Structure 1
Amino acid sequence: MENGCLNGVTNGNSGNHAASTAEAAAAAAASAVSPPLNERSLETVRLIGQFLRELGLSHSVDALVQESGCALENSAAASFRRHVANGDWDAAEECMQSLQSLVTEASSATEIAFRLCEQRYMELLEAGDYMGALNVLRNRLTPLKFNTGRVHELSTYIMCSDAEELHRISGWPGSLAGTREALLDQLQQFFPPAVMLPPRRLLSLLDEAVQYQLAKCRYHNTDLPVAEVSLLADHACSRDSAEFPARCGQVADQHQDEVRCCQFSPDGRHLATGCKDGAVFIWRVDDLTLRLSVARRYHIGEERGGVACLAWSPDSRLLLCCAAEDSSDVLVWCVSPPPLLPPASAAAHHHSLLAESHPNGASVVVNSASVLSGGSSEPQRFSRGGTPEESLTTAAWFPDSVHFVAGGIRGQFYLFSLEAGYRKSWDFIRVVALATRTDRDGNTAALAADSFGRVRQYRFDTMQDETLLQEDGSIIAMCLSRDQQVAALNVVNSGLRLWDLQHRVCLQRLAGPGISQGGYCLHACFGGLTGNFLASGSQDNCAHVWRIGGADSQPDRLSGHSGIVNSVAWNPQHHGMLVTASDDCTIRVWLPTGRALSAAATDHGSGGTAATDGSSGQASANLASSPATHSPSDSNPDEDDDDGILE
């Protein structure tokens, strides 16, 4: 019998035996001593409890606190939170007396008291208790002597006739619109986390973790909201499913010689390409298919050594062109006409024929109306004196789309404007590459890479200059990141080097086959949704694409060209569109895999021909060959009739 009692069996009732066994197991589990929680575990429990409380799962919070023995907050802080949430302002102020010693800064206690009284005042006005509100204003807010401007503003609200007028004039949504919860979020910043947790702390940590994974993802190139990224596994886009230009979608072979440079307009609607034989093509970008079609053709003359530089104005209307050799002028075409001007302004532009005399006695006449009208296929020429000794081979626009700088290896470095032509110069600056950026005071500075391996900053408004960085070798080309804080330099025998312009330190060296050898003028370009991709031409007939700040420093290789890739351009609006220009006389359009395959299928269905060499590669291994469509070499039916030839 004793043994039966111990086993929980009474009169042979096996059901009672099972129940008693379960109860005994539960009791044993309850009586078991849990191992003590370390500091990290205690903090995690607090964060989970806060998250459950924000979800409204109060019973789960109570169970968590009871089982873990870990309070979410200081008891006085918990009472303070409860009183503010319930609008019990006297009790909230009383709790603040015990919390005052825990505030991070003594001055913050006054601000906390001010914000509590401000909320109380607004709620009294909303309820129509004007005498109570006036009492708070006079006896609580004013004596604090804090933010007197806000106190004066609050005093004007007492004239509101009802709650609706109060909401409209003050912009305060009301006590039922979550303003108490918002007040608590504001007040939590004044307390250390051990006393009162920052709002939505667990969600903030999860969002930061997801954002870090997105930043490290090799191919991520979309604006996917952080809340839509799964937490169950690390984020990683696949190459063929991402908005990454992995495959060739079009091969355009209209050029008859080596294509040296390419650049998209800032609005992403046009692409400009320049050739060794002096041809300049303007391509139209189809918004739906992202296919290119020739819109205009210009020619600067083969005797100039071909096209060396193309630059779009920030408003996407004007295209600037520099020749490769022995060219003392800069050419500017108007690709897109400006909006219609008011009659007075139009008349002023029509008669703006300006001439400026220069120290050497030369005079350059610039008709700004002809540049801005877009009515002629002839370019406007800009030069200082037009002497044979001058050579302008690189240029860059100012943000106003009116001024630009131009320079060359022979020591010329000029500032021009569309209205007046030549304006100012720095003497004896042998310029290799140019860019502009906004300086600390908000004005524009010109960055010039020179023949001494330096990048120097020049201010034409103050005529001040300074050296930003010094390279060990000769700089061949330069481009700036979207935020103008990082410069990518192509350095002879050193590959691409990324420089932080603010701290003036080298961040990273990017090397690869065909990037580091020799002195070829290979142009690079930042791109992608956040500007975290860097693409570059190379001598190995491929384009190389890096994810800046990514976990893998090896580039993706886009192969398909049969000659050196001289230049790349990333569409600033269509972030998955990349163009490469090559010595094989073609330009290639690289698109996300889905878009590229869709374009190929459309061309096959319409009777177009598909190229068989349009493959793309990752690192050193090529993907399977994918179709790439050729643009016909004959005249394009969409091409404009205003082609210009400059002899």
Structure 2
Amino acid sequence: MGGVEDDEPASKRMKLSSEELRRLSNGSTIKEPVAGSSRDLMARPLQSEGGEEVVGSKGVIKKVEFVRIIAKALYSLGYIKSGAHLEEESGIPLHSSVVNVFMRQILEGNWDDSVVTLHNIGLTDERTVKSASFLILEQKFFELLDEEKVMDALNTLRTEIAPLGVNDSRVRELSSYIVSPSYCSPTRSPKQGTVRARSRSKLLEELQKLLPATVMIPEGRLEHLVEQALVLQRDACMFHNSLDKEMSLYSDHQCGRDQIPSQALQVRLCSANQIFFWSFIFLFEYLLDGKFLIVCSHEVFSTILPVYTSLESLFKRLLGSENESGKNNLKLSKKIAYHLYEIQCDFLARMLVSLFEAGECPLISSFIGSHRFDPRIIKISCKLLLSYFKQKSMSFFLQQILQAHTDEVWFLQFSHNGKYLASSSNDQSAIIWEVYETGVSLKHKLSGHQKPLSSVSWSPDDRQLLTCGAEEVVRRWDVSSGECLHVYEKTGLGMVSCGWSPDGKWIFSGLNDKSICMWELDGKELECWKGQRTLKISDLEITRDGKQIISICRETAILLLDREAKVERFIEEDQPITSFSLSRDSRFLLINLLNQEIHLWNIEGDPKLVSKYRGHKRTRFIIRSCFGGLEQAFIASGSEDSLNIAYKFLRWVYIWHRGTGELIETLPGHSGAVNCVSWNPANPHMLASASDDRTIRIWGLNNLSTKRKEPCSNGIHYCNGGY
């Protein structure tokens, strides 16, 4: 509670307008008649304090309370006349007459009278009365000091404040102001009256918080209730994953599935070395030799088409020969999709557009392309085609499949700022990808390891990257240049995991002798925790306060090691643990088990099992899961299960709602086991998956369904679409 020099902005104070202050200071209540009111026709008798009249369909809102809260909100918003009119018309005063007197006394600085009135308000809790009296007399003390009435201030402190027996430490602090020359210096500013009014207004606001709401309605009560309702609606929304903070008061909030990354990344304008025209297509993929394309429809009708390298021959095959009327016989059907390979020429793009204009491609309703190039590069043909499709409101997709690793991709992780993605592979390399709004591109391929890479770890500032070879060494890389800055190793031992301290000053590594070591950046070993500290599993996490090291110490147990307090805690599972992931706030741990379950643990204090997630398959390999989405409201995981379509086995990415545990999305596409997933922490609509098929897939939203819909007649507001 500051003195009169306190000049905190009025926006954070109790919002009392000059009109309201004038009425209180003149002895008027807020219930004065307002010019132009219909008092004679519409005013009703005062409702009693205990009136049970209710409003609303549920019968739980008391009308008296409802009207008072609305009136309070009107005054707070500066609508003084409207607030007074509401009191008059409803016959329901905002405050009782004694409370109005009390408020006026506070604003006018009648401290002794206000303390007397406080006792007459009818408070039953003596502690509340004393605490409120303390605040009032404290303000009196400060104003006496400001007026250089030091002895009067000292007398107030000794005879009025101290006997209350409230907040002794604050009393001692007030006594120090008596002898403080800096505080006792007079404030001769011409704005002194304004500062004092603000200080008294703040006192009234503090008293509002202290006194029962039935006596003085808290400031911002209506806003609090509305915000609470919006937050509850948001939390109850299964698919809420929107960066858009706009939530309408006109209708209930509800998001659709389109807020979950479920399409291979789509962009508006992007280079494409492969473009697909399709209709009623369910799935399409290359055979492993890359020479043929498998295409199938919803009816599970499939065909295998050769992949052509000649644009001219492919175009002729697509169009066929001209008929007698001179029109092309298009070899298109609802059951077959055609793969147009490397469309990069303006000539072919213009021919296709002319076919659409002539109405000769009635069955082609969508466009999809895959690319492996830098998404910032824009080709003329793609610009032309995409512009045309957008103009005609035709569907178009563009997906990115990253193929730079030459063997299975085991691990991947977005940087903290979401600007980079790092991946590691059985091919003994790691790759740093640069992330753009429209996709990702290869920045550096990191070579030097002699064994497969089991994991990567970003520095807190995302300027450096650790890579860990399976039972080999840990390397530290500069992200900007791709240069290896240091190699961490121990003679006769191999590293199995790596991680950073939150300040970026040290690194941690798990070794194959089951110990964990801490190193300075220059390679000096600082500490080593020996014994059963870790297994040969490449998971190691350090909490964001830097105090706890988390590792798998036994087949069915996770160690939470407090390195400062030297205290160990354990999470015991009934099944073997294969991997784990730490939440961004370091409060929760996601544990993957051998029995094809994912367990969510709260690790604050004694570890507690919170949720279980089921549905994915794990039979032979280490499958990793992650937190993700807005406020990490979702759980994503790789899987080994497959769907056999047209002799092609397709693997899935699974997504659950974190709070309910409900499986809300499965993403098919990979042709090998999906080993790892990572959700972009800066973009809740971007998800990456790594697979044994040697590819990384970037998943995003379906642009076709993210257009905002108007609120429905049933009062449900869809955020960026929904169904």
Q: Normalised by the size of structure 2, how large is the TM-score?
A: 0.62
In structure 2, C-alpha distance between the alignment counterparts of 1:532 and 1:414, rounded to whole Å:
33
Cross-structure match for 1:472: 574
- In structure 1, runs of 5+ residues without a counterpart are 1-25, 168-172, 338-373, 599-622, 625-647
**1:236 maps to what in 2?**
254
Q: Deviations over 1:569-611 (max 9, x none)?
A: 222233432221122211122233449999xxxxxxxxxxxxx
Question: Is the CA contact 1:415–1:460 (under 8 Å) kept in the aligned structure 2?
Answer: no
CA contact (8 A) 1:492 1:519 kept: no
Alignment partners' CA distance in 1, 2:612 and 2:265 = 27
Deviation at 1:223, TM superposition (A): 5.2
State how far apart, in whole Å, the 2-side matches of 1:379 and 1:159 are.
60
- In structure 2, the partner of 1:182 is 202
Q: Which residue of 1 aligns with 2:695?
A: 586
Shift of 1:379: 5.9
Q: Alignment partner for residue 333 of structure 1, among 477, 483, 488?
A: 477
Question: 1:573 and 2:678 equivalent?
Answer: no
- 1:296-347 Cα distance to aligned partner (Å, 9 max, x none): 112345x62x2211111222232222223xx24322223247xxxxxxxxxx
In 1, the alpha carbon distance for the partners of 2:631 and 2:177 equals 41
Map of 1:143-158 to 2, 5 A cutoff? 143=159, 144-145=161-162, 147=170, 148-153=172-177, 156-158=182-184
- Distance, in Å, in 2 between the alignment partners of 1:125 and 1:219 is 58
- Cα displacement (A) at 1:75: 4.4
Q: 1:402 to 1:125 in 2, by over 3 A?
A: closer
Which of the residues 414, 420, 423 maps onto 1:273? 423
Q: Which residue of 1 aligns with 2:541?
A: 436
In the aligned structure 2, how far is the partner of 1:597 from the partner of 1:251?
22
Contact 1:239–1:246 under 8 Å retained in 2? no
Structure 1 match to 2:447: 299
Distance 1:278 1:509 in 2: 34
Alignment of 1:479-518 (within 5 A): 479-502=581-604, 503-512=606-615, 515-518=616-619
Q: Residue in 2 aligned with 1:349?
A: none
Structure 2 CA distance for aligned equivalents of residues 51 and 139 of structure 1 = 40
Tell me the distance in 2 between the aligned counterparts of 1:166 and 1:60. Answer: 31
C-alpha separation in 2, matches of 1:565 and 1:294? 21
Instruction: Give, as a single letter, the amino acid of the residue that structure 1 aligns with 2:552.
Output: A
Native 8 Å contact 2:239 2:260 kept in 1 = yes
The answer on whether the counterparts of 2:119 and 2:129 sit within 8 Å (CA) in structure 1 is: no
- For the residue of structure 1 that corresponds to 2:670, the secondary structure is coil
Look up the match of 1:604.
none
1:37 matched to 2:53? The reply is yes
Instruction: Please give the per-residue CA displacement for 1:167-221, whole angstroms capped at 9, x wherever unaligned.
Output: 9xxxxx8145x44333222112322223332222221111111112223323433
**Given the superposition, is the C-alpha separation of residues 573 and 139 from structure 1 closer, same or farther in structure 2, using an over 3 Å criterion?**
same
CA contact (8 A) 2:410 2:425 kept: yes
- Contact between 1:247 and 1:558, CA under 8 Å: does it hold in 2? no
8 A contact 1:273–1:281 mirrored in 2: yes
Check the 8 A contact 1:332/1:381 in 2, yes or no: yes
1:542 positional shift: 2.4
> 1:115 maps to what in 2?
135
Q: TM-score, normalised by structure 1?
A: 0.69
Residues 382/79 of structure 1: CA separation in 2 closer, same or farther (3 Å cut)? same
Alpha-carbon distance, 1:135 to partner: 6.0
- The alignment status of 1:248 with 2:398, answered yes or no, reads no
CA deviations 1:361-381 (Å, max 9, x no partner) are xxxxxxxxxxxxx7xx34633
Distance 1:237 1:404, change over 3 A: same
Alignment partner, residue 531 of structure 2: 427
Distance 2:679 2:454 in 1: 19
8 A Cα contact 2:680 2:687, kept in partner: yes
Seen in structure 2, the aligned counterparts of structure 1 residues 584 and 103 have a Cα distance that, compared at 3 Å, is: farther
Distance 1:236 1:577 in 2: 21
Partner residue in 1 for 2:502? 399
Verify the 8 A CA contact 1:245 1:591 in the aligned structure 2.
yes
Separation (CA, whole Å) in 1 of partners of 2:95 and 2:191: 39
**In the alignment, which residue of structure 2 is the partner of 1:11?**
none
Task: Give secondary structure in 2 for the equivalent of 1:256.
Answer: coil
Q: Would the aligned equivalents of 2:655 and 2:665 in 1 still touch at CA under 8 Å?
A: yes
Instruction: Give 1:158 deviation, angstroms.
Output: 3.3
- Kindly indicate whether residue 355 of structure 2 is the aligned counterpart of residue 209 of structure 1: no
State the match for 2:372 in structure 1.
none
Distance 1:104 1:222, change over 3 A: farther
Deviation at 1:438, TM superposition (A): 4.2
Instruction: Report the 3-state secondary structure (helix = DSSP H, G, I; strand = E; otherwise coil) of the residue aligned with 1:574.
Output: coil
Confirm or deny: 8 A CA contact 2:507 2:518 kept in the other structure. Answer: yes
CA separation in 2, counterparts of 1:275 and 1:554? Answer: 29
- Distance, in Å, in 2 between the alignment partners of 1:437 and 1:142 is 53
| Alpha carbons of structure 1 residues 434 and 564: separation in structure 2 relative to 1, 3 Å | closer
- 1:32-61 deviations in Å (ceiling 9; x for gaps): x99952684144344334334434556665
Partner of 1:285: 435
Partner of 1:170: none
Matched AA of 1:149: E
Give the aligned length: 508
Choose from 503, 517, 520 the match for 1:414: 517
User: Shift of the alpha carbon at 1:446?
Assistant: 0.6
Instruction: Give percent identity, aligned residues only.
Output: 28
Match runs of 1:222-233 below 5 Å = 222=242, 224-225=244-245, 228-233=246-251
What SS does structure 2 have at the residue aligned with 1:102?
coil
* d(CA) in 1 for partners of 2:491, 2:71: 75
Match of 2:549 in 1: 446
CA contact (8 A) 1:450 1:475 kept: no
Deviation digits for residues 595-632 of structure 1 (CA, Å, limit 9, x no counterpart): 9999xxxxxxxxxxxxxxxxxxxxxxxx99xxxxxxxx
CA separation of 1:164 and 1:122: change in aligned 2, threshold 3 A: farther
Q: Is residue 383 of structure 1 aligned with residue 489 of structure 2?
A: yes
Which residue identity does 2:445 align to in structure 1? R
Aligned-pair distance for 1:481? 0.8
Residue 543 of structure 1 aligns to which amino acid in structure 2? V
Does structure 1 conserve the Cα–Cα contact (< 8 Å) formed by 2:533 and 2:559? no
**Counterpart residue number, 1:139:** 155
Code of the aligned partner of 2:189: A
Question: 1:400, CA displacement in angstroms?
Answer: 2.8
Unaligned segments of structure 2, at least 5 residues:
1-40, 55-59, 163-167, 267-399, 642-650, 708-721
Following the alignment from structure 2 to structure 1, what is the Cα–Cα distance between the partners of residues 51 and 453? 75
Taking a change above 3 Å as real, the CA distance of residues 157 and 459 of structure 1, as seen in their structure-2 partners, is: closer
Aligned position for 1:525: 626
CA distance in structure 2 between the partners assigned to 1:547 and 1:458 by the alignment: 30
One-letter identity of the residue aligned with 1:491 = L
**Aligned-residue offset at 1:273:** 0.7
Q: What pairs up with 1:529-548 in 2 under 5 angstroms? A: 529-540=630-641, 541-548=651-658
How far apart are 1:525 and its partner, in Å? Answer: 1.9
Cα distance in 2 for partners of 1:510, 1:318 equals 34
Note the C-alpha offset of 1:279.
Answer: 1.9
